[in-house]
Structure 1
Amino acid sequence: MQAADGWLVRVRPPLGRMTAVQAHLLADVAEQDGNGQISLTNRGNVQLRGFTLEAAQAFPQRMIAAGLGQPDPEAERRLALQVSPLAGIDPACATETVLCAEALRNGLIDHPELSALPDKFGFCVDGGGFFPTGSLRADIMLQAMESPVPTEAGWRVVCGSSSSAPQIVQEAVQAALALAEAFVKRGETQRPLREPSVGERLFAETGLECVSATVAEMHGINQPTPRAGHLTGSAYAAVAPLGRLTAATLRSCAEVAQEGDGLLRMTPWSGLVLSGLKKTPEISGMITQSDDARLRVYACIGAPGCAQSAGDVGRDALALAPFLPDKADLHVSGCRKGCAHPGAATVTLVARGEGYGVVQHGKAGDEPIRILPKTEDVRAFLQALPKGDV
């Protein structure tokens, strides 16, 4: 799509993974055809910015040739699928997680009628483990269930406020696809993630038995805060501050991946998991320490990348991070839409002509309690927050 700083292009690495070779290619393309700026999204996508229209139009074929895209653009659009980032490397993550994800991905490719789903309609395969079940969020979720007998059915399908009984992989995948088809058939306009009651209607439409989903199943209450540094085994997470990195930084991440198993696994918190390493990597431009305050800060692309933004909110967010109380989080938004963090934060700052509107324990669209004209005023406000105000 076109942005204020040029055309933006996006890649969905298959199953949330790309090889070091593919990462090197993306870094090269970002420098050669764009402005060198790259974003890692909370949906596990990679975005490159600052392209000309001609370069943006040539981009898909380069990605298809590299194994990072589908020849059919409609099939590519349907693949909004997140997978547990530690699948296959965390012994506590369900062993069938990758198998389940591959089956669902193939099913999405083979169901052209699902192109009618809304652009942001998504799926996830959540195998639990180090990141417990409920860590991923999507409109239709396949979640692993603990079972004392590995061969027994162990996957439930959660859609909005409803959940299926445990099923084997093949049945769970077919149920997920049937629910998506029912969404299209009924002409629903509200996604299950936003309007949970939709799930009950979709289960009824398909004739599938269901029970009420718990809050954890429905809303991802276990969703972890961004994690950096050592995770489990030989797996480490490197997080891009505000989800942003340069082509040079991505190239450095690829070089570190080559020291391990050669893969970069996308996380839902704008990071990468690198496995097969012996110690925490040091990567310039990435967060690799779990106590870094920038892990608790969110900001949209802001000016000059977005014409709707009233300021360079990313710059201000990073400058304010050191003054944030422990355990508190900060959202700095360029406008009231709050694209970077739809949920509530300890403090939300909304850029406006006369400074920043301050919202406490709320969202960007909420009414501010005060207006602070300068970043120095915001810094003083953060420093004056009670330590327990999180």
Structure 2
Amino acid sequence: MTQRFTPPEVKGWCPGLFAPMQAKDGWLVRVRPAFGRITAAQAVFLAQIAEREGNGLICLTNRASLQLRGFSHNNALRFPELAVLAGLGMANPEHEKRLALLVSPLAGCDPSCAPDTLECAAALRAALCHANSLSALPDKFGFAVDGGGLFTIGLLKADIMLQATGAGFWSVVCGNQKSKAASVQAAVELAIKLAQAFIAIPKSKRPARYPETGKMLFQSVNEQGNPVEVPAVDAPDSALLAGKIGQALYALNAPLGILTSAMLRSCANHARNGDGILRLTPWHSIILHGLPYPPHVAGMVDTSTNPILRVSACMGNAGCVQAEGETQALARTLAHGLKAEESLHVSGCSKGCAHPAKASWTVVAAQNGYGLICNGTASGPVMRFFPDDRAVEDYFIGTKPQERIMNGRV
């Protein structure tokens, strides 16, 4: 059988608080909480809105944002005003657009995370708000403040990153280049200069996707960059994604990044017994701090041995018009066929939105079946093609990993 993959449409932009996106299951709205944190009251507010005005589904994204699904167009247009009143966004749309900022999830409650991480993040956030010229950045362009700790340096991914180097100093990483250590203020100023340089250079490609852009940007601002050592691990250990991860620190993982309003409300109720904050991570976990007991939320993963922690999947054809097939149920089934060190990505098309990086196994939907890719991304070479999801399940669950590779002639 000849596989038929429909070339996906690359929109080149992401939904934002003031820019809802139409999906197959209705309009999608997004909130990007400051420093990746929401209060218990804000979580309850979002759960109520999701139930009342959407379809009750909430996605925890790989940028530590929350997406509420299934809105009508009118409800989506009304949502920003409600979110701003709840403290979940900036009233100025231009400010909001520029605040694509990831921060170490455990800053302030992990003793091994740089103690000035939140100070650095606040300084960068303020600088982004005041840098009007940065409104010209692409919607997908992002920043990160990485203080290390339990979630080690290098796990956060963004176009421009501030990384702690110890003793109150920070380096700026852009693509394949890294600056010398400097003060918080100097590092923030350099990050803004690099972003402005990106805008000034016609047809620049994002450093997160094209690392060689970093050297060009450093040269354009007359700064000496040094080659970056690329971390070998793109995701944290499963032990940090679910269960107890530190002193009075507990992680609850949303399987495949999907929450229901009931799950989010339950997380909020638990958070009230701790410090009242829900910390969102790019790895689909919500971290609660200060609880005197291990929390349990129906439908969420609270043990680090669950194989679903190493699986990613988009909404598939249930929620995306570009998806060629079902993904969510297939991903949950295939999770049981993974070995301990393996990862899996199930994508509705070759864009691979849910997991742009490589996975041990990637399954991609096509017009007439599913392709299986070994150690690649969703756009990689297909080693084997199956006519339907049942055939994928039979092969993946019933075949040992080494036999899969041999049969696929990889």
Instruction: Give the TM-score normalised by the residue count of structure 1.
Output: 0.94
Q: Which SS does the other structure have where 1:69 is aligned? A: coil
Once the two structures are TM-superposed, the CA of residue 318 in structure 1 deviates from its matched residue by 1.0
The list of structure 1 runs, each at least 4 consecutive aligned residues, that deviate by more than 3 angstroms after superposition, is: 220-223, 386-390
* Mapping of residues 147-162 of structure 1, within 5 Å: 150=167, 153-162=168-177
* Mapping of residues 78-93 of structure 1, within 5 Å: 78-93=98-113
Q: Which SS does the other structure have where 2:401 is aligned? A: coil
Counterpart position of 1:304: 318
Counterpart position of 1:346: 360
1:198 and 2:218 equivalent? no
* Mapping of residues 166-181 of structure 1, within 5 Å: 166-181=181-196
Counterpart position of 1:33: 53
Q: Which SS does the other structure have where 1:351 is aligned? A: strand
Query: 1 CA distance for matches of 2:384 and 2:257?
Result: 28
Is the alpha carbon distance of 1:296 and 1:376 closer, same or farther for their aligned partners in structure 2, counting shifts above 3 Å?
same
Counterpart position of 2:223: 208
**Aligned partner (choices 256, 261, 266) of residue 247 of structure 1:** 261
Once the two structures are superposed, residues 135-189 of structure 1 have per-residue CA deviations (whole angstroms, 9 ceiling, x without a partner) of 111110000013xxx3xx5200111111111111111111111111111122342
Contact kept? 2:144, 2:157, Cα under 8 Å: yes
Once the two structures are superposed, residues 97-155 of structure 1 have per-residue CA deviations (whole angstroms, 9 ceiling, x without a partner) of 00000000010001111011111110000001111111111110000013xxx3xx520
The amino acid that maps onto 1:210 is G
Counterpart position of 1:94: 114
Query: 2 CA distance for matches of 1:125 and 1:265?
Result: 15
Counterpart position of 2:304: 290
1:281 and 2:281 equivalent? no
Once the two structures are TM-superposed, the CA of residue 7 in structure 1 deviates from its matched residue by 0.6
Query: 2 CA distance for matches of 1:305 and 1:36?
Result: 13
Query: 1 CA distance for matches of 2:170 and 2:247?
Result: 25
Once the two structures are TM-superposed, the CA of residue 310 in structure 1 deviates from its matched residue by 1.8
**Aligned partner (choices 253, 266, 270) of residue 256 of structure 1:** 270
Is the alpha carbon distance of 1:388 and 1:215 closer, same or farther for their aligned partners in structure 2, counting shifts above 3 Å?
farther
**Aligned partner (choices 102, 127, 148) of residue 107 of structure 1:** 127
Once the two structures are TM-superposed, the CA of residue 333 in structure 1 deviates from its matched residue by 1.0
Query: 2 CA distance for matches of 1:237 and 1:382?
Result: 29
Counterpart position of 1:183: 198
The amino acid that maps onto 2:217 is L
**Aligned partner (choices 220, 225, 236) of residue 224 of structure 1:** 236
Counterpart position of 1:45: 65
The amino acid that maps onto 2:178 is S
Q: Which SS does the other structure have where 2:127 is aligned? A: helix
The amino acid that maps onto 1:194 is R
Query: 1 CA distance for matches of 2:185 and 2:326?
Result: 48
Further displaced range: 181-190 or 63-72: 181-190
Once the two structures are superposed, residues 223-278 of structure 1 have per-residue CA deviations (whole angstroms, 9 ceiling, x without a partner) of 41451111111111111101001111100011111111000011010111111012
Q: Which SS does the other structure have where 1:50 is aligned? A: strand
The amino acid that maps onto 2:375 is H
The amino acid that maps onto 1:274 is L
Contact kept? 2:54, 2:68, Cα under 8 Å: yes
* Mapping of residues 48-63 of structure 1, within 5 Å: 48-63=68-83
**Aligned partner (choices 77, 92, 112) of residue 97 of structure 2:** 77
Q: Which SS does the other structure have where 1:274 is aligned? A: strand
1:386 and 2:401 equivalent? yes
Query: 1 CA distance for matches of 2:201 and 2:131?
Result: 17
Aligned length: 382
Contact kept? 1:263, 1:275, Cα under 8 Å: yes
Contact kept? 1:134, 1:223, Cα under 8 Å: no
Q: Which runs of 5+ in 2 are unaligned?
A: 1-20, 406-410
